[in-house]
Chains A and B, each alone.
Chain A
Amino acid sequence: QSVLTQPPSASGTPGQRVTISCSGSSSNIGNNYVYWYQQLPGTAPKLLIYRNNQRPSGVPDRFSGSKSGTSASLAISGLRSEDEADYYCAAWDDSLSGGVFGGGTKLTVL
């Protein structure tokens, strides 16, 4: 059971907008930054969003992050086939004194 809760799956058609939620608590998301990672099949994870809503250089602006209270969301607009991947949220947990991840959401592009 992961500390951060994500839906196990999500799907959309090309061009559509999809969102992936991430729920936590005051010890993690509520008081710390949220990060999002994309993991394509057979590869290492890649940082997609940092500090709740910032994109590293090279990440398309189709990807956006938001946070409200103890929850966060990743939105992907203009969905493309190459977006099919696993997505993970992460945050620091003050009670555990460590990093915590969500269980991951498998995004399928129909």
Chain B
Amino acid sequence: EVQLVESGGDLVQPGGSLRLSCAVSGFTFSNLYMNWVRQAPGKGLEWVGRTKNKANSYTTEYAASVKGRFTISRDDSKNSVYLQMNSLETEDTAVYYCATEGSSPGPDFDHWGQGTLVTVSS
């Protein structure tokens, strides 16, 4: 059974840092591209970024809104992907989802986690 489980969401002050984790099972994780997508309260979906697989040099790509502040990494030995968030702003308050990327080019997010809530507030 395919399962993605995010963790690490918390209340953090503006300017602070937080690391989210996403554990994946039911897949050959090392072959996957992994994405992070967020959703601010009552708002729509926003692509945050992705990491490609080893065959594609673990290349990472980010949305302009988080570039330079957020870093996506992965540990294939632990079937996990991470989102390191620094210099957090109130606008980063959102539910953060990890999602697997299917075989079609583009935002082909075929499996999602349940999400983890990040609240940035003083």
Contacts and interface: CB of A to CB of B under 8 A. Distances in A.
Interface of A: 2, 32-33, 35, 37, 39, 44-47, 50-51, 56, 86, 88, 90-92, 96-104
B61 A45 contact: no
Contact of A50 (B37, B97, B102, B114): B102
Interface of B: 35, 37, 44-47, 49-50, 61-64, 97, 102, 104-110, 112-115
Given A33-B106, A91-B107, A45 B112 contact: yes
A75 to B, nearest CB: 20
A35 B44 contact: no
A35 B114 contact: no
B106 A56 contact: no
A90 B107 contact: yes
B106 A44 contact: no
Contacts of A32: 105-106
9 contacts: A35-B108, A44-B97, A44-B115, A50-B104, A88-B45, A98-B64, A100-B47, A103-B44, A104-B45
A51 B107 contact: no
